[in-house]
């Protein structure tokens, strides 16, 4: 890998693609050349990067001849078509979609948790699901101490997880309600303004959604626990940005609340925010546009043995997607 690799961002005009460019710039990532890529309708637009205007190019099979690292955030279908082409041209692909996450030959990496796995790639590295990332950032310090067995969680997921369309729908519905007008629903199956919807992604035969099963399947792979089980309910809430997750995790050995706070506060990428008597606990606004996840409300679970319950919040556009991808790229150099 060159000291200053050539970087491509596929999906540069989307929220995560823009955040990837922002993270590269803020973290002073060494870049030889940045190539922003998007669909034909966005080709020709310009993005501002390091005080320069760079023209967006159309994503085609011929884009990757001189690319060292390709960051993909353009959806699973695009990744399945173009990521292998980029890899065959010699680029290392870091893919934000679900296309390759469960492929046995593709590492699934959170740099604070399993950085060594990135070095085992065969041309493609997968970025985990945003809800999985936020949850495991809070869980991993505890897992290292007491060995997690299973997890029960409910997520509270921001509308930006649905892209710009989710934000626009929430805004439009709030304005309609304030003006006494009819509410229209397009992105979500129900009104999202002043409401919560217990569905993220499509339902499977077992009654869980794809999003909910990702937590179990991806956590097993990242943590290396083949028998790990997770029962998850994912809920869309009328929040613009940052996902929150209420987590109950059962361990092999007896955990301790005070020790848990120490472990989380000492871990990279996550901070403790836990003094309920003074109203101190994480909210989505506390992590929006921030790198670190926050954990609070840590307490002994009163139903399960050897279990703790906690609340973890993180910016799903940043740490849950763009920042995590850039951190993986940093591992490569």
C-alpha–C-alpha distance, residues 39 and 129, integer Å? 23
Closest CA relative to residue 91, chosen from 4, 7, 17: 7
Q: Are 301 and 311 in contact (CB under 8 A)?
A: no
Q: Using DSSP, how many helices (H) and how many strands (E) does the chain show?
A: 8, 14
DSSP-assigned letter for residue 203: B
pLDDT over 80 (residue 15): yes
Average pLDDT score over the chain: 97
C-alpha–C-alpha distance, residues 123 and 145, integer Å? 33
Domain locations along the chain: 7-127+321-332, 132-316
C-alpha–C-alpha distance, residues 186 and 326, integer Å? 33
pLDDT over 90 (residue 90): yes
Among 130, 234, 273, 293, which one carries the catalytic annotation?
Answer: 130
C-alpha–C-alpha distance, residues 114 and 97, integer Å? 19
Q: Is 130 a catalytic residue?
A: yes
C-alpha–C-alpha distance, residues 8 and 63, integer Å? 9
The 3-state DSSP class for residue 10 equals strand
CA-to-CA dists, residue 14 to 20, 38, 47, 221, angstroms:
10, 9, 12, 28
C-alpha–C-alpha distance, residues 329 and 333, integer Å? 7
pLDDT tens per residue across span 136-148:
999 999 999 999 9
Among 23, 63, 234, 243, which one carries the catalytic annotation?
Answer: 243
Check whether domain 7-127+321-332 has CATH 3.40.50.720, yes or no? yes
pLDDT tens per residue across span 195-220:
999 999 999 999 999 999 999 999 99
pLDDT tens per residue across span 243-282:
999 999 999 999 999 999 999 999 999 999 999 999 999 9
pLDDT tens per residue across span 243-252:
999 999 999 9
164 pLDDT band, cuts 50/70/90, is: confident
Tell me what the mean pLDDT of segment 53-69 comes to. Answer: 96
- Give the model's pLDDT for residue 1: 73
Same fold, 7-127+321-332 and 132-316: no
- Give the model's pLDDT for residue 40: 93
DSSP-assigned letter for residue 280: B
pLDDT over 80 (residue 2): no
pLDDT over 80 (residue 223): yes
pLDDT over 90 (residue 29): yes
- Give the model's pLDDT for residue 310: 98
3 pLDDT band, cuts 50/70/90, is: confident
Bridging pattern class, strands 148-157 and 7-10: unpaired
Question: Which numeric CATH code is attached to 132-316?
Answer: 3.30.360.10
């Amino acid at each position: 890998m060159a000291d200053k690799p050539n970087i491509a961002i596929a999906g540069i005009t989307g929220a995560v693609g823009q955040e990837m460019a922002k993270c590269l710039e803020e973290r002073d990532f060494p870049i030889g050349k940045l190539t922003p890529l998007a669909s034909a309708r966005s080709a020709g637009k310009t993005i501002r990067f390091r005080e320069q205007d760079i023209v967006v190019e159309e994503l085609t099979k011929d884009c990757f001849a001189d690319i060292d690292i390709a960051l993909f955030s353009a959806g699973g279908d695009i990744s399945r078509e173009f990521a292998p082409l980029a890899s065959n041209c010699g680029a290392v692909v870091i893919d934000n979609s679900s296309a390759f996450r469960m492929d046995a030959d593709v590492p699934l990496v959170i740099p604070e948790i399993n950085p060594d796995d990135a070095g085992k790639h065969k041309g493609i590295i997968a970025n985990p699901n945003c809800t999985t990332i936020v949850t495991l950032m809070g869980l991993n310090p505890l897992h290292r101490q007491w060995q997690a067995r299973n997890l029960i969680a409910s997520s509270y997921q921001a509308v930006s997880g649905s892209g710009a369309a989710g934000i626009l729908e929430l805004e439009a519905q709030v304005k309609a309600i304030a003006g006494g007008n009819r509410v229209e629903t397009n992105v979500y199956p129900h009104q999202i303004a002043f409401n919560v919807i217990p569905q993220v992604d499509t339902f499977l035969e077992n009654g869980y959604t794809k999003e909910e099963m990702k937590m179990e399947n991806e956590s097993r792979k990242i943590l290396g626990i083949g028998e790990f089980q997770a029962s998850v309910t994912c809920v869309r809430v009328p929040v613009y940005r940052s996902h929150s997750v209420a987590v109950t995790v059962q361990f092999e050995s007896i955990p301790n609340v005070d020790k848990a706070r120490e472990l989380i506060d000492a871990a990279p990428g996550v901070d403790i925010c836990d003094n309920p008597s003074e109203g101190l606990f994480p909210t989505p606004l506390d992590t929006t546009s921030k790198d670190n996840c926050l954990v609070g409300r840590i307490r002994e679970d009163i139903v399960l043995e050897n279990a703790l319950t906690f609340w973890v919040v993180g910016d799903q556009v940043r740490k849950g997607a763009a920042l995590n991808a850039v951190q993986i790229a940093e591992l490569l150099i």
